[in-house]
Structure formats: structure tokens, C-alpha cells
A and B are shown apart, each in its own frame.
Chain A
Amino acid sequence: MDFDKIYQKLKILTDAAKYDAACTSSGVTKKGERGMLGSASECGICHSFSADGRCISLLKVLLTNVCVYDCKYCVNRASNDVKRAAFTPEELASLTVGFYRRNYIEGLFLSSAVIKNADYTAELMLKTLTLLRNHYRFNGYIHVKAIPGADPLITEKIGYLADRMSVNIELPSEKSLNLLAPDKTRKSIVAPMKQISEGIIQSKSEIVKYRHAPAFVPAGQSTQMIVGATPETDLQIMRLSSALYSDYKMKRVFFSAYIPTVEDSLLPSVDTKPPLLREHRLYQADWLMRFYGFSADELLCESEPNFNPYLDPKCSWALRHPEFFPVEINTAPKEMLLRVPGIGVKSALRIIYARRASSLRLEGLSKLGVVMKRARFFITAGGRYDEAIKISSRSLIESMLSDTALSKISCCAGQLSLFDEPTGEGLMKCITGEM
């Protein structure tokens, strides 16, 4: 190993890859096998957390940052003056194995800028994967970014060696894409996405027929879009992401708060702070859609197309829909339990499990993992409300807010009022029935 050379390359190509949000290693179970190196577990394993609090699970690097494209928002754009480097397939494969054996990582996340042309780039990636799987007998996790515009045959070959593939949709609308990424078209992005999702469906049906049929992208497909570089609303973003889940059977849609790295009149100024809270709200909503049975149009509407910065989307939905509450925890179906602020997927399942043996009382709920600070306004047990609601000095809305949000609001207004209609006080009354 030529240490100095690898060191320089790793530094440059990690720096160029770090803005990709996805680093998950989930979605596939592979038991270890004699003569092979590695395994994978369905839930994924985080190996570390970087200083920005994000999980590190895979060796996330670019094969190269030499790029023929000139996308305005991207650090690797051809016109940007940065150091350039490229791994050889052999260098990258042996580095991955060296890290993997020391339990630093769960596998490889391989992306690349487009060097020479799309086919050439995709072939280099294929060569890296072939080396890993065949020469090193590597059985760990591999996530590959498909290169839009590459020959579908190469993409297909990559798909049989990778566990997960993704194509970044980049920006939430075609208009923004045309504006900021003139070399990419919606069509060129959607084509490989479609190819992958169809390949997955076909491969699944073949595995049913022939047990040893090779698996194509067994951990599924994901995608990512940049939030905050262009003027789309949260509602537009949520609709797009729910279409991606249903039409392309995405496993995940990632959001990445735009971080200004280059100066351009078409982009937000370089001193703009990344919209982290907005990104957080979008992820919360994403969870609500995937695990809680909410739809995009329930969470937002045309008249209120963006998420409330102070309240999380679930609380905000509950406050707008007092007609669904209270929920009786001893009889309510799972779908209704999941809609209660303070009850999550795990605590809902525990409630259902526990109530079959004995009826539940409010006092026991926190032992099941329910956050009573929020839930107590929305539930009854055996028809009975929490006594503390009547005497508590904390208002309903106060209980829904995090302490930081609370301190921000209360310093500028004595009376808490986040909504014009109905007011927090009125809502409180209609929920507790003290009309």
C-alpha cells in the first residue's frame, strides 16, 4: 500500500462525497459464509458518529471527483477550482477490505463524479465491485450511486453486485433542475431509477421461481434531494417524496439541507445557514408517512404549505383535528393509537400487547414508553382523563413544544397563541370537554 498516495486521495474524495445524506446499511440480511468476508443485518449497524452527529456506517467516498458536468450547486462542478483525484479500483477495494476487517465500517458507499463520460465512469465502478465481490470474496454491504446516462447494461451488472442503489433526484422540481443543473435532465435521472425499480421487481419474482437466482439490488433503492436551494414548498416536497415511494418503490427518500459551497447568482448567498430545522421537520413527516399511516395531504394543505417551525408535524395535525380525540387506549385500533402525540410505533405495539392481559390505566402508560407530557391531553383509559390536566398550569400547546422552542416564543409573547383559529385555550376546552 502506497500510504501517502492513498492518504491524499482518501482526503480529497471523502471531502467531495460528504454531502451525500444516505449512509444506511439496512434492508438486507446476509449471513456469513465459509470462505467469504462479511455479513449484513436487516436493521443496519452504525459504526460511528461524526462531529455533525450523522451516522457513519459505510466508507463513503467518490471514485473520482473529476467531473465533466457543471452543476451550479455542486462542489465538484467542472468550473470549480478544487484538488482532483481518482482511486483505482484496486486501491479502493483493498482499502474497503482493510477498514472492514477492523470493524470500522459496514461496507462501501460508492459514488462518483463523471470522468470522461458516463459509461467510462460506470465501468470503473463495476470493476471495483467485481474486485470486491470476486477477488476479495467481500460479502458486506455495498451501496452504489447509479450514473445517469450510463449504458443500462452496465447499470444492470452493477445492480447484481450491489446491495442498494440510488439515483439522486437532486432538486424537488424540473424547473429548478433545468436552472441549476443544465447538464442533467429529469429524463436522464428518472431512466436509471425506473430501470432499477423494474429490475428489483423482476428479480424478486425470479427468486420465487428459482431459489438461487441472483438478487438484483436486494436492499432496495433510495434517492436524495436538496432542500432550501430552490423555492419549492414543503407540500411540494412531500408530494414528490410520496410519489417516489409509491411509483418507484423507494426504500428511503433523503433530504439534504442546502449548504452553500459556491457563489452563484442563481443560488442563495454563501452566508446562508443550512435550513436544518426544516430538514428535520421533513424527516419527521417522512416517518409519519412511512410508519404512522399519514398521507402528505393530511399533514399540509395548499393554504398552509409549510411545516410549523415550533411544532412537530404530528402535534400540529392533532391540534388541527380535535374531532379524532380522545382515543381510548384500551380499545382503539393501532392506526388511531399511532395518531396520538406521545405514542410511537413501539409504544403503540406495547399497548396492544399489554392490554390483552389486563386493562391499562393511565399511570402505567409511561412504563410502556408513552410520553405522557404530550399524550395525556389526547387519551382516556377506561373512559377516564388524566386528573392532572385540570390542575396543571402548563397549557396544551406548551406541552407540545420543546423547551428551546418554548423559551424562544415566550420571551416575545406573554400569551401563547400559535394559531388564529382555534386558539390554544379553546382547543384545550374542546379536548377536555370542559365547554
Chain B
Amino acid sequence: MYNGRNVALVYDGSFYGLLSAAWYALENKITPAEITAKRLLLPIFEEKEIETDEKKAMRLLHGIENRIFKGVSKKVFALWLSDRENKEELLLDYLRFGLSHGQKTARLLTEPAVCETEKTFRAVYNEAHRLKGFLRFSEFDGFLAAITEPSCNALPLIIGHFARRFPEENLLIYDKKHKLAALSQRGEISLFDADEFFFPKRSLEEKHYRILWREFYNTVAIKERLNEKCRKTHLPVRFWHQLTEMSEENDVNALNFENIKLTFND
């Protein structure tokens, strides 16, 4: 029934771009070989460039909210935020399944497309929850800055939490992996792409707080109960390099905290 097996849909990587690609596939009843944000040098498939159309994207979101179930766009958004391979194809499968099954899609948790989407949704929100705890700010006069490398593009999900928590502060969170920066200036939120971030030298006070925190962290552990496996289960090793308590003090430069210099993508 569906063709398009040798076509690759190329979108711009944005959320609306992804929805426009889904729209295109649904409208033309094709199941493309892939939907991707990366254009290959030597394309294997015939490439079809998708133009991002915000209007169509919004219509699609409204449409699926009505025809599948209320809240489905949150799942779709989480899929876009995730770093999983083939998330675009999964999205298309999910929408197609949802559009033919309607309301009960939410409950058909054993269907592969539904189950995988749920899993991804949970993984994205779990990562966001972990970041709320594991992010570490350093104070550079006038603003608090943090660098992180999360397993998915979770900044849009957490910046609100920090903006509400620190309504009188200027915050800057930089996601090194997804090249995204989130800013909250006294509660005003903005997001922008940034290739690199460099922070100024740490002040003496900042260094003191880091030493105090490390001392607290090391002292609070009960030696008779050491349990490395348990620690690593709850605090995955991939987070360790961003944690103040896990770093040695001569690592001041470990995360490029030197010389202020901002570079922006356009």
C-alpha cells in the first residue's frame, strides 16, 4: 500500500521540520526509507527536501490531539527531543498507528510502536529529572553557569524548573552535546544555538565553595557501607565529569571554564 521505500526525507532538524516531514509522508501515503536531518555526501536514497511549514505542523498537532488522544503531542515532542536512532521513522509509525486506532492508542501499550514511544518518552523525562539534580552551577560575577552533556536534548524541559527556582538570578545552562544554550534572566527564558562556550576564571569564593562541597560529599559517606555498584546505578558514570564533587581540584579547566568568549550560530 505504501511506497517510497527508496526515498529519504530530509528536514532541517527542527520540531516543526519533523512534523512537516511526517505531514508529507502521511499526505502522500509513503513510508520513506528514512527521515533524517543529515544530508549525506553520497546519498543512498533519492532525497526529498522537506520545507518546514509551521502552519502545517500546528495543524498536524491539533489534528492528532483530536483524533488520537489529548496529550499525544507531548509524546511526539519527547520523541523529537530524544537522541534515539530512527526516532523519525518511529514517529511516523506511531502517528499512522494512532490515526487508525484513535483514542485507545494510549492504552495499547503492547503494540511495538506505542511501547517504543512510551519507552522513549519515559527515557527523555527521566533524563530531565536527573539533570534537575545533577546539574552544577558555578558563579561568575552576576550569573550562574552550568555545562552538561545529557543523553537527549533535555534543556527545553528543565530550564523552566530552574527559572522558577531562581527567579532573581541570571542562569546559563549549556548543553555541549546538542550545542544548545538555555538562558534565564531573572525568570525570562530564552534558548539559542551556540557552538562553543567559554567561561571566565573562577573567583576565590567559587573555588572555596567547590572545596567545601567536595569535603561534605566525601565526609558524608559511611565507610562501613561503601557500595560502588549502588552509587553507579543511581549516579551513572556519564554524569561524573560534570559534578563538582567528583572532580579533582586541578581540573578547573576540565570543562573549558576559561576566558570569556561567546560564539553563536548565526
Contact = CB atoms under 8 A, between A and B. Distances in A.
A65 to B, nearest CB: 13
B219 A53 contact: no
A184 interface: no
Given A11-B219, A102-B213, A34 B167 contact: yes
Given A18-B222, A95-B212, A367-B109, A52 B217 contact: no
Contacts of B226: 51-52
Given A99-B209, A101-B144, A102-B209, A51 B231 contact: yes
Nearest to A8: B215
A33 B216 CA distance: 29
Interface string B144-175: 10100000000000000111111111000000
B216 A14 contact: yes
B164 A274 contact: no
Given A102-B138, A354-B109, A357-B108, 9 more contacts: A11-B219, A14-B219, A37-B166, A45-B129, A51-B218, A52-B222, A103-B162, A106-B133, A257-B225
Contacts of B144: 101-102
The 3 A-B pairs of least Cβ separation, nearest first, read: A53-B230, A364-B110, A357-B107
B225 A259 contact: yes
Contacts of B211: 3, 7
B243 to A, nearest CB: 7
A367 B139 contact: no
A411 interface: no
A385 B139 CA distance: 60
B155 to A, nearest CB: 14
Interface in B227-245: 227-231, 233-235, 243-245
A48 B230 CA distance: 12
Given A102-B139, A350-B109, A48 B221 contact: no
A196 B138 CA distance: 38
A35 B167 contact: yes
Contacts, number: 160
A239 B213 CA distance: 39
Nearest to B239: A48
A354 B108 contact: yes
Interface of A: 1, 3, 6-7, 10-11, 14-15, 17-19, 31-39, 45-57, 59-60, 95, 98-99, 101-104, 106, 257, 259, 273-274, 276, 350, 353-354, 356-358, 360-361, 364, 367-368
Contacts of B169: 101
Which one of A18, A51, A356 has the greatest number of beta carbons of chain B within 10 Å?
Answer: A51
Interface residues of B, number: 56
Given A259-B224, A354-B110, A32 B133 contact: no
Nearest to A366: B110
A59 to B, nearest CB: 7
Interface in B104-143: 104, 107-110, 115, 129, 132-139
Contact of A19 (B110, B222, B230): B222
A357 B104 contact: yes
B205 interface: yes
A86 to B, nearest CB: 17
Given A32-B165, A35-B167, A48 B107 contact: no
A53 B110 contact: no
B29 interface: no
11 contacts: A1-B208, A10-B212, A14-B216, A17-B220, A32-B164, A32-B165, A52-B231, A101-B169, A103-B162, A274-B225, A364-B109
B135 A103 contact: yes
A3 B208 contact: yes
Nearest to A106: B133
B212 to A, nearest CB: 6
Contact of B215 (A10, A33, A361, A367): A10
Contacts of A49: 230-231, 234-235
A15 B220 CA distance: 6
Contacts of B235: 48-49
Contacts of B224: 259, 273-274
A353 B231 contact: no
A33 B205 contact: no
A368 B115 CA distance: 8
Given A36-B167, A39-B164, A354-B110, A51 B245 contact: no
Contact of A10 (B216, B223, B230): B216
A161 B141 CA distance: 31
B221 A51 contact: yes
A273 B222 CA distance: 13
A103 B245 contact: no
Contacts of A38: 165-166
A368 B209 contact: no
B157 to A, nearest CB: 14
Nearest to A361: B110
A139 to B, nearest CB: 9
Contacts of A47: 133-134
B205 A1 contact: yes
Contacts of B229: 53
B109 to A, nearest CB: 4
Contacts of B218: 51
Nearest to A36: B167
B72 to A, nearest CB: 15
A273 B226 CA distance: 12
A378 B132 CA distance: 39
Contact of B212 (A7, A33, A45): A7
Contacts of B133: 45-48, 57, 103, 106
A48 B139 contact: no
Contact of A31 (B135, B164, B227, B231): B164
Given A354-B109, A367-B110, A101 B221 contact: no
A372 to B, nearest CB: 13
A46 B134 CA distance: 8
A104 B136 contact: yes
A18 B168 CA distance: 33
B214 to A, nearest CB: 10
Given A37-B168, A59-B216, A276 B245 contact: no
A354 B110 CA distance: 8
Nearest to B246: A48
A195 to B, nearest CB: 30
B166 A101 contact: yes
B134 A53 contact: no
